Amino acid sequence: MDKLTIRDADVAGKRVFVRVDFNVPLANGQVTDDSRVRAAIPTIAALLQGGASVILASHLGRPKGKVQDGLRLRPVGQLLSQLLRRNVPVTGDALGVGTEDAVKRLRPGEVLMLENLRFHAEEEQNDPVFAAALASYADIYVNDAFGTAHRAHASTVGVPQILPAYAGLLMEREIEMLSKLLEAPVRPFAAILGGAKVSDKIGVIDHLLTKVDLLVLGGGMANTFLLAQGKAIGKSLAEPDRVEDARRILSSAANNGVRVVLPIDVIVAKEVTQGTEYKTLQAEKIPASWHIVDLGKESQDLMVEALSDAQTVFWNGPLGVFEIPSFAHGTKAVARMLAERADSGATVIVGGGDSVAAVTQQGLADRMTHISTGGGASLEFLEGRELPGVTILPDRPVPAKPKRKSRARVR
């Protein structure tokens, strides 16, 4: 998948509309995780150096078409101003006379951020009038928001139907790294999948079973597979209606020669809360009133052993109740092991909020090959589905093959 990128665009003196993914966590009016903002800086900096004026557009949270002061982008603008070392004002609205005036005053080398796009219901509806209004601000469109590329919204699909469109540097990197997983992974290739629900990942598991050599399962979704093996899991989070899917996946893995690693011992707790009583048990018969909340030490060791020779690894989803520190040990142990695999030359790609958080909190992010900014988008990509925000971007033209010179016949 080879898309036109900002390297192919002449942006000098142009206004460039850049769809970024600044859907970041906030607490007390401050950004608590700036990784998505930092990930967009190479594209913004390249456009500014090329002589463009940059109009940034993002959503934040789920305001459902209504203005919510707690979801305004001003804290993100303040953070970006610090990172870029230049003022990044945020408009009062994505539309309106004030925003139009601010855009008209924008000069090359300056940056403006539009207020939360999802304050307008028309954004998620891909309303053509709303898209045309956004497109009127700029000469060129750039999508650097891989995390929203699976959504057919006005800012991801509508605007690039109107303006010349290009991929940003982050978008290019995401497509390149994830494409390698599907097209040319160095083997052995392992996928580690966690999180709460197997139903969210059935499609990607089915697709990856034709690609991987090893599948490691943890988190709440692994409990459904334990049920499928006839094991008692107490009050643990699971999806009994997906047990047949789990059995089918295990059977398919065996038929494809894919090794599946499930927890063999687990941490169980009386309640899924901080400070509750917990202990380690074999993942065979959990007492009826207890909850599985993390991997046990034997499970951690088993997963480390299974992954010890993996040359390509994709990880999405926590392997326990990561938001409670006492139950984050398994997730963090896998993060440390993957950093060691990456240090040894393996390709390690991490995606999904809690997986990325586990890596970032331990200062391991720089050691990974790639940290994907798209949780749901990366899963849909690996499921083999088309992402509307990627599909709409033009492919780079295939160079014409040189014509062979005709040889004069000798009579």
Catalytic residues: 36, 197, 353, 376
3-state secondary structure the chain: CCECEHHHCCCCCCEEEEECCCCCCEECCEECCCHHHHHHHHHHHHHHHCCCEEEEECCCCCCCCCCCHHHCCHHHHHHHHHHHCCCCCECCCCCCHHHHHHHHHCCCCCEEECCCHHHCHHHHCCCHHHHHHHHCCCCEEEECCHHHCCCCCHHHHHHHHCCCEEECHHHHHHHHHHHHHHHCCCCCEEEEECCCCCCCCHHHHHHHCCCCCEEEECHHHHHHHHHHCCCEECCCCCCHHHHHHHHHHHHHHHHCCCEEECCCEEEEECCCCCCCCEEEEECCEECCCCEEEEECHHHHHHHHHHCCCCCEEEEECCCCCCCCHHHCHHHHHHHHHHHHHHHCCCEEEEECHHHHHHHHHCCCHHHCCEECCCHHHHHHHHCCCCCHHHHCCCECCCCCCCCCCCCCCCC
- Residue 312, both tokens: 């390509």
Distance in angstroms (rounded) separating the CA atoms of residues 312 and 373 = 19
Token look-up 């859907």 returns 23
The answer to whether the beta carbons of residues 291 and 235 sit under 8 Å apart is: yes
Distance in angstroms (rounded) separating the CA atoms of residues 141 and 67 = 25
**Residues in Cβ contact with 110 at an 8 Å cutoff, skipping those fewer than 6 apart:** 53, 54, 86
390: left (phi over 0), alpha (psi -120 to 50) or beta: alpha
